[in-house]
């Protein structure tokens, strides 16, 4: 076995789906039962951290990127899914379009409450120079810049990534999408 395969086996991560959209999705996994099961992931929810999401598709059967069957995701991969017009746009490193039978005989769990709510930054407080000092995080409240960076580092904030400025300062950026109004610098 190659060194890379040994590392992947040793440090195997979980696939994650974050549904930032207004659409209902099916998420297929087999970690909780050992057999493939599809759960309904509602809008503004994410797959639980103990679940390895293996694929997703729309519940209403409409295509995602011209594909109506499963979109397979891999370990360590996070699929951030957003609305784009009547369709969806996916921000992901690696995914593959697969056939309906890719995961075998899937049991469908129609409970719409599966997953956990997304926790996003929805507001900021700036100083007189326009530099962000505090962030308002859903279900948490106002927190300092340091606390927000620590939460984002642990994956506890779903719409933020850590960045480093040219002069070495650590700060938060919103995840990339086509909407300017959700950029932290545009919030007030």
Q: Is the pTM of this model over 0.85?
A: no
Strand (E) or helix (H) holding 3:
helix 3-10
- The answer to whether 47 touches 29, Cβ cutoff 8 Å, is yes
Work out the number of other CB atoms within 10 angstroms of the CB of residue 184. Answer: 19
Phi/psi of residue 150, each to 5°? Answer: -60, -45
Boundary of a domain, candidates 92, 117, 142: 117
Both 148 and 108 in one domain: the answer is no
Boundary of a domain, candidates 85, 117, 149: 117
Strand (E) or helix (H) holding 147:
helix 145-153
Phi/psi of residue 151, each to 5°? Answer: -65, -40
With tokens 């929810």, the residue in question is: 45
User: What single-letter DSSP state applies at residue 59?
Assistant: T
Both 79 and 112 in one domain: the answer is yes
With tokens 């810049």, the residue in question is: 145
Both 153 and 101 in one domain: the answer is no
Both 59 and 74 in one domain: the answer is yes
Both 130 and 65 in one domain: the answer is no
Both 92 and 107 in one domain: the answer is yes
- The answer to whether 152 touches 162, Cβ cutoff 8 Å, is yes
Per-residue pLDDT of the chain (188 residues; tens, 9 = 90+): 555 555 544 445 688 999 999 999 999 998 777 789 999 999 999 999 888 999 999 999 999 988 999 999 988 788 999 988 888 989 888 888 999 988 999 999 988 889 999 998 989 999 999 888 999 998 899 999 999 999 988 888 888 888 888 888 888 888 766 555 556 666 66
Both 113 and 134 in one domain: the answer is no
Number of domains in the chain: 2
Both 155 and 180 in one domain: the answer is yes
Both 73 and 12 in one domain: the answer is yes
What range does the domain containing 51 cover? 3-117
d(CA 178, CA 182): 9
d(CA 124, CA 103): 43
d(CA 121, CA 28): 28
Boundary of a domain, candidates 101, 117, 133: 117
Both 95 and 166 in one domain: the answer is no
């Amino acid at each position: 076995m190659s060194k890379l395969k040994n590392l992947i086996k040793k440090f195997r991560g979980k696939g994650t789906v974050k549904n930032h959209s207004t659409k209902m999705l099916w998420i297929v996994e087999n970690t909780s039962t050992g057999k493939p099961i599809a759960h309904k992931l509602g809008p503004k929810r994410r797959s639980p951290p103990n679940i390895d999401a293996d694929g997703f598709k729309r519940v209403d059967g409409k295509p995602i990127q011209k594909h109506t069957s499963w979109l397979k995701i891999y370990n360590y991969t996070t699929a951030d899914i957003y609305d784009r017009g009547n369709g969806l746009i996916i921000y992901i490193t690696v995914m593959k379009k697969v056939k309906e039978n890719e995961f075998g005989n899937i049991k469908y769990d129609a409970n719409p409450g599966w997953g956990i709510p997304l926790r996003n930054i929805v507001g900021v407080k700036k100083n007189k120079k326009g530099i962000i000092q505090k962030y308002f995080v859903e279900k948490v409240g106002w927190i300092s810049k340091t606390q927000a960076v620590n939460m984002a580092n642990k994956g506890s904030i779903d719409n933020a990534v850590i960045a480093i400025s040219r002069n070495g300062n650590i700060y938060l950026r919103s995840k990339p999408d086509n909407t300017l109004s959700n950029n932290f610098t545009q919030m007030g």
